[in-house]
Structure 1
């Protein structure tokens, strides 16, 4: 594959690079949250290594997919058709649909299991060294979800930019930013139980969205991310309120 480096002499190339990098960071937040939560099952000494390996695997997945854009386009072609009662005419099932469906169901199942674990108090046992997962098991789960999240990221990149080199650089830059801040995000999520529960709820919602996309029911992602942002702001306000040690006292009424 031939790369044309002369495009970097043009101003709009740098604008496209910065825009796409920002978009990749935004789309990668759910990946960071998932990795941060699942890596928490590792011994604490291995958690940072697990996060780094997970994000590097995500980087390799996305670069590999970018270099196989023609293959990705081919995944949109129907492999077989189904007669569904709520669909007019035959429903074409593509490779992309199968990947989104499997990834969505995996995300829903995994997030639900994590919520159950938290409600049952099994996190304390993991903190004591019981029930911790192996690095290989965690990496395998990260690879599975990285592939699904990478499709969303790559399709966004293809829609914004038509130069593969710019796409690869944007993915690399965004991944460097995420690796640098992944530890901060993970510590914040794991240190605040309500934020962790909210993050798991977000992942379930993303899983449902992936399943719906597999059935060709497109959802405007802007609404989903706005709902997440609004919920996060409300929870941050609740956290700040809970930190107040003294209750608020109303002024005495002159009529008392």
Structure 2
């Protein structure tokens, strides 16, 4: 019944939805290469995995915080730092996201048609494995942000650690339900507009760079005796994303009657649908 608790719940739910945008973009790109009947299943499983990982990490928050401790310190003169479990997971996730995003952009713009046809029939299990791996990284980032927000708000609110945990679990469940409702339309919109696909992959590159910086910051990396690597504020990143989307929506509205560019993956899928229609 504490009004501060409701404010915290709404704030955290909004935060989880914002932090989940990168998850939905990645889901849209990966599931868009599956057969049409498998795409909703991949999105549902991906978001449910995201919810499960976040809740499990919340209940194991003591273990998560213990991963901050360095297990390997080094000093090579020009670079020094201490590798921890958190920094390793976040840094590896950033590398994976960069690799995946650049590979997808190359495939969509310059990939051969044979490989596009092969990738269009990717297995559901392969897509889920990719989604699960990245969800672990996104979950770490989301939980650490949520815990920091609630911890800073806890002293004046008075709902205590147990109440804070309930609020965070509630926010995660509500945000995932909202994302489940909108994941289908968002994925359809992304996959129908090539420029949105490329923008989405560019956003994932930005998020990958942010994760690399954050992983380096968690490892307390210092170059040439004292130049420390700082994390990139998420506000700058999400402002750039929303501003870019706003500009692209204006472009789409102004050029509504134009013929969109066909990316390789979309071209192959369209040809398959046309062949099926002719056969029927």
Shorter-chain TM-score above 0.5: yes
Q: Evaluate the alpha carbon distance shift between residue 58 and residue 158 of structure 1 in structure 2; reply closer, same or farther with a 3 A threshold.
A: same
**Scaled by the length of structure 2, what TM-score is found?**
0.79
Contact 1:97 1:215 in 2 (8 A): yes
For the residue of structure 2 that corresponds to 1:177, the secondary structure is helix
Matches within 5 A, 1:73-84: 73-84=65-76
For the residue of structure 2 that corresponds to 1:198, the secondary structure is helix
Structure 2, unpaired ranges of 5+: 151-160, 218-229, 259-280
Q: Evaluate the alpha carbon distance shift between residue 139 and residue 237 of structure 1 in structure 2; reply closer, same or farther with a 3 A threshold.
A: same
Does residue 1:190 correspond to 2:191, yes or no?
Answer: yes
Which residue is equivalent to 1:238? 251
Separation in structure 1 between the aligned mates of residue 183 and residue 114 of structure 2, nearest angstrom: 23
Matches within 5 A, 1:60-71: 60-71=52-63
How many residues in Structure 1 have an aligned counterpart in Structure 2? 234
1:91 corresponds to which of 77, 81, 88: 81
Contact 2:101 2:204 in 1 (8 A): yes
Matches within 5 A, 1:5-20: 9-20=1-12
Separation in structure 2 between the aligned mates of residue 193 and residue 123 of structure 1, nearest angstrom: 17
For the residue of structure 1 that corresponds to 2:101, the secondary structure is helix
Q: Evaluate the alpha carbon distance shift between residue 67 and residue 113 of structure 1 in structure 2; reply closer, same or farther with a 3 A threshold.
A: same
Separation in structure 2 between the aligned mates of residue 164 and residue 236 of structure 1, nearest angstrom: 38
Following superposition, the deviation at residue 122 of structure 1 comes to 5.5
Following superposition, the deviation at residue 160 of structure 1 comes to 2.0
1:43 corresponds to which of 35, 55, 62: 35
Following superposition, the deviation at residue 226 of structure 1 comes to 0.7
Separation in structure 2 between the aligned mates of residue 122 and residue 26 of structure 1, nearest angstrom: 35
Following superposition, the deviation at residue 123 of structure 1 comes to 7.5
Separation in structure 1 between the aligned mates of residue 114 and residue 134 of structure 2, nearest angstrom: 26
